[in-house]
């Protein structure tokens, strides 16, 4: 299962559509909700996709709390902002990745295929 933390409903729907054939998804509208969902489902979740800018709790804060629960879970930051500061530092760490919005679906699918064993892209 992929946890998608994205505050824009339209982008949430796009992610769900992209993954509907190959992965179950669960969505959160902010970082706090993402952490709560992750706590309840950490054994089922193979990947987390975090938007950088979200209300209540941003993606960087959510990342830190998710890492406390499951330190080696792959996390993809997906943002329209270039990685700077703390995010740039986090991207140097193992299992942290970045995909810039707007993204090409094939780029996202290839990264997910790399990170989630058993992913099968049905062409």
Lowest average pLDDT, out of 11-15, 54-58, 98-102, goes to 98-102
For residue 32, give both structure tokens. 């706090």
- Of 5-9, 81-85, 102-106, which gets the smallest average pLDDT? 81-85
- Asked if pLDDT for residue 82 goes beyond 70, the answer is no
Which 3-state string (H, E, C) describes the chain? Answer: CEEEECCCHHHHHHHHHHHCCCCCEEEECCHHHHHHHHHHHCCCCCEEEEECCCCCCCHHHHHHHHHHHCCCCCEEEEECCCCCHHHHHHCCCCCEEEEECCCCHHHHHHHHHHHCCCCCCCC
Q: What's the whole-number average pLDDT of the chain?
A: 87
* pLDDT at residue 71 tops 90: yes
Residue 19: Cβ-neighbour burial (10 angstroms; 0-12, 13-18, 19+):
buried
CATH fold for domain 2-115 = Rossmann fold (3.40.50)
Question: 113: pLDDT confidence band, cut at 50, 70 and 90?
Answer: confident
């Amino acid at each position: 299962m992929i946890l998608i933390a994205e505050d824009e409903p339209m982008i949430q729907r796009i992610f769900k559509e992209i993954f509907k054939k190959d992965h179950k998804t669960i969505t959160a509208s902010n970082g706090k909700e993402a952490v709560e969902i992750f706590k309840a489902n950490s054994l089922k979740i193979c990947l987390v996709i975090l938007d950088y800018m979200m209300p209540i709790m941003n993606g960087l804060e959510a990342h830190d709390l998710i890492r406390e629960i499951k330190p080696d879970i792959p996390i993809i930051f997906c943002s329209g902002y270039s990685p700077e500061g703390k995010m740039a530092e986090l991207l140097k760490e193992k299992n942290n990745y970045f995909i810039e919005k707007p993204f090409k679906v094939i780029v996202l699918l290839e990264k997910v295929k790399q990170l989630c064993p058993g992913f099968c892209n049905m062409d």
